Amino acid sequence: METSQHPIAPATGRLGVLFVGLGAVASTVIAGVELIKRGLAEPVGSLAQMGTIRLGKRTEDRAPLIPDFVPLADLDQLVFGAWDPISDTAYEAAIRCGVLDRYTHIEPIAAALKEIEPMPAVFDQQYVRRLSGTNVKPGAGKRELAEALRDDIRNFKAANDCDRMVVILCASTEVFIEPGPAHQSLEAFEAALDANDEAVPPSMLYAYAALKEGVAFINGAPSLTTDVPAMTELAHTAGVPLSGKDFKTGQTLVKTVLAPMLKARMLGLAGWYSTNILGNRDGEVLDDPDSFRTKEKAKLGVLEHILQPSLYPELYGDFHHKVRINYYPPRGDNKEGWDNIDIFGWLGYPMQIKVNFLCRDSILAAPLVLDLVLFTDLAQRAGLTGTQEWLSLYFKSPQHAPDSYPEHDLFIQQTKLKNTLRWLMGEEQITHLEMENED
């Protein structure tokens, strides 16, 4: 099969990365990148930095590192900035969040972290009730606030001599919002902006501002932000990529591995009970029932889409799925996820799987954020617009085409990502068909 490389603009110049939210995740990403750039750490967890990709037949023994195969931006090209309602610098945020050891991982790069001061945020406590802050933009009008964000993007790009930009939302979960008339088209959305419609939360203002400036946008929260027709329309009109939503880091990551195992072996599921305890800002915000409802919706859809109960009613037609999140301040960023899985096998005999995942939330999220930034910049330079389903690997609730359904199976997601990279570079897709090795 003949293939040809997709045209990709070179990764020259500086890549600006603007975080919406300079909390635990963003400060951990920035600190990690600064340490890696100085040879003080390795990018563990980053597929874009440490992963390999098989090319051709297995007998060809071609498996280059991904950064040697596709033209990704170098870490030295990244320039960081942020918005946050709390005025802490990246240095102060890293210390306050308590994810990293101060003397091993923060002080050696203190000067770089202190330079990153968050711009005033668009923040409304109506949408995130458990947070407050004083580093907030003035102006009551949503159109006015969106235009102020656009100014911030332009000013940051000019001040830092950036050739390209990516905006990534690492902010707290907003209260649950149902898609409505204001979200169905760009025209309706802009009318809602002018009317200060409550259906337009702050996260959408950031997405709108970025896309209007021709900047790719990534939604790392479960909030309703880009997964509406108005935003996908704007992304295509502006010619830029977008992706989301909700970073897949801990308990849901485990689910998207174990559920495919059950389905692959046709083992039945009676129930799956999941609970989490965490004590960071995310946990505090999710202690509000309306914010938890937003997170719950993102987490609950995983099993149904993987197991396809309509196709396998005897196995998955009546399972019970429960998700709980408990705010427990002493735990900080060290999250604990418990899963009790009741399954059944041959002749209906019951069995159980129990998982106790003691993870570090931001440590798992940081390399994922780096991958999304680098791959989204690649998509932008390759002229890929709209929803980037090939990045579903990184999200709990992957945004997808309106006439389709999301793919949650981690292994299918990984195959889709790597096959997209092969397609971009003019290499044949890997199907794992044995006949590929025969002449």
* Residue closest to 335 by CA, chosen among 250, 264, 256: 250
Per-residue pLDDT of 348-400, as tens digits, reads 999 999 999 999 999 999 999 999 999 999 999 999 999 999 999 999 999 99
Provide DSSP, 86-137: S---HHHHHHHHT-S-IIIIIGGGHHHHHT--PBPB---TTTSTT---S-B-
Angle between helices 229-238 and 202-212 (to 10 degrees): 20
Q: What is the mean pLDDT of the chain?
A: 93
Say if pTM beats, i.e. exceeds, 0.75: yes
- Residue 435 is predicted with a pLDDT of 57
Q: Give the burial class of 33: count Cβ atoms within 10 A of its Cβ; 0-12 exposed, 13-18 middle, 19 or more buried.
A: buried
Do the Cβ atoms of 193 and 146 come closer than 8 Å? Answer: yes
- Residue length of the chain: 439
Q: Quote the CA–CA distance of 233 and 221 in Å, as a whole number.
A: 20
* Residue closest to 103 by CA, chosen among 31, 21, 26, 22: 31
- Residue 41 is predicted with a pLDDT of 97
Do the Cβ atoms of 393 and 413 come closer than 8 Å? Answer: yes
Q: Quote the CA–CA distance of 199 and 201 in Å, as a whole number.
A: 6
- Residue 439 is predicted with a pLDDT of 45
Q: Quote the CA–CA distance of 297 and 277 in Å, as a whole number.
A: 18
* Residue closest to 20 by CA, chosen among 220, 200, 235: 220
Per-residue pLDDT of 267-289, as tens digits, reads 999 999 999 898 887 777 877 88
Per-residue pLDDT of 151-181, as tens digits, reads 999 999 999 999 999 999 999 999 999 999 9
Identity at 189, one-letter amino acid code: F
pLDDT-derived band at 434 (thresholds 50, 70, 90) equals: low
Q: Using alpha carbons only, what angle is made at residue 326 by residues 324 and 330, rounded to the nearest 5 degrees?
A: 155
Per-residue pLDDT of 190-223, as tens digits, reads 999 999 999 999 999 999 999 999 999 999 999 9
Name every residue whose Cβ is closer than 8 Å to that of residue 54 and which is 6 or more positions away in sequence. Answer: 62, 63, 418, 430
Per-residue pLDDT of 9-47, as tens digits, reads 999 999 999 999 999 999 999 999 999 999 999 999 999
Angle between helices 251-264 and 410-424 (to 10 degrees): 100
Averaged pLDDT for residues 396-418 = 93
